[in-house]
Amino acid sequence: MLKIEGVHTFYGQIEALKGVDLHIKQGEIVTLIGANGAGKSTLLMTVFGNPKCRQGRVVYEGQDITGVPAHEIVRLGIAQSPEGRRIFPRMTVYENLQMGALPTDGSTFEEDIREVFDLFPRLEERRNQRGGTLSGGEQQMLAIGRAMMSKPRLLLLDEPSLGLAPLVVRQIFDIIKKINEKGVTVFLVEQNAFHALKLAHRGYVMVNGVITMTGPGQELLANPEIRAAYLEGGH
């Protein structure tokens, strides 16, 4: 469904991605784990062409989307809940969800927002509250809910568990699973390797802008190197 082929991405002179290859199949949950600064967020943003990769290709459902402007990507069926959640702080929960919807979907808006409220009843209770005043967990729910408003086929999630209490993390991961069961393919970037690998069908490990390991989630979870680097005494 999504193929990243030999992607190199730069910030000025700094090479953040040094030739990344990975693929995601329809219906999967694929996770990408790696330490802070490895280049995970850069990879998700490269899918949206912001920044654009200097070398390599991003192919989505057979179509080369490398040069497509960021605002067009969501129309192709890819949505992102980015690093730091990026809720529109001075908009209400409801307005944030309106922003997530595609303008062409006006006729199904009520159904779509119903579905998001069913996933996150908390958002319905807070619908008129400003995004900037929500708790971290609520903001994360809103970020995912906003992404779901565009009815994506592929959902990119950047560290949804960051800074959240364990109980909330569990809730969020349950919902990710539910979303996947509805038929949405999920690409989950995490530092919380334990939860992510348990949930995912497959995983990739990124170190300093290159993929160093890949395999089924359970296999990576059992791998002693990974246990040492990302699980024990880690997060």
Ligand X SMILES: Nc1ncnc2c1ncn2[C@@H]1O[C@H](COP(=O)(O)OP(=O)(O)O)[C@@H](O)[C@H]1O
Q: Which residues of this protein are in contact with other proteins, per CB under 8 A? A: 48, 50, 69-75, 79-80, 82, 84-86, 88-91, 95, 98-100, 102-103, 132-134, 139, 146, 150
Given other proteins, ligand X, Mg ion, none, residue 91, with its beta carbon under 5 to 8 Å by kind, binds other proteins
Exactly one of 8, 18, 21, 41 binds ligand X (CB under 6 A); that residue is 41
At 101, give phi and psi (nearest 5°). -70, 150
Site residues for Mg ion per CB under 5 A: 41, 83
CB half-sphere exposure, 145, CA atoms < 13 A: 29
> Is residue 160 part of the contact set for ligand X (CB under 6 A)?
no
Residues 187, 155: contact at Cβ < 8 Å? yes
Nearer to other proteins, 66 or 223 (CB): 66
Q: Name the 3-class secondary structure at 199.
A: helix
Given Mg ion, other proteins, ligand X, none, residue 71, with its beta carbon under 5 to 8 Å by kind, binds other proteins
Binding segment (CB under 6 A) for ligand X, from list 29-37, 57-65, 128-136, 161-169? 29-37
Residues 33, 212: contact at Cβ < 8 Å? no
- Alpha carbon dihedral 164, 220, 215, 158, in 10-degree steps, equals 10
Q: For the purposes of burial, counting CB atoms within 10 Å of the CB of 232, is it exposed (0-12), middle (13-18) or buried (19 or more)?
A: exposed
> Is residue 22 part of the contact set for ligand X (CB under 6 A)?
no
Nearer to Mg ion, 36 or 128 (CB): 36
> Is residue 16 part of the contact set for ligand X (CB under 6 A)?
yes
Q: For the purposes of burial, counting CB atoms within 10 Å of the CB of 34, is it exposed (0-12), middle (13-18) or buried (19 or more)?
A: buried
Q: Name the 3-class secondary structure at 153.
A: coil
Smallest gap, in angstroms, from Cβ of residue 229 to other proteins? 29
> Is residue 234 part of the contact set for ligand X (CB under 6 A)?
no
- ∠ CA 145-35-45, nearest 5°, is 45
Smallest gap, in angstroms, from Cβ of residue 8 to ligand X? 12
Given Mg ion, ligand X, other proteins, none, residue 183, with its beta carbon under 5 to 8 Å by kind, binds none
Nearer to other proteins, 163 or 234 (CB): 163
Nearer to Mg ion, 80 or 113 (CB): 80
For residue 71, what is the enclosing H or E element? helix 70-73
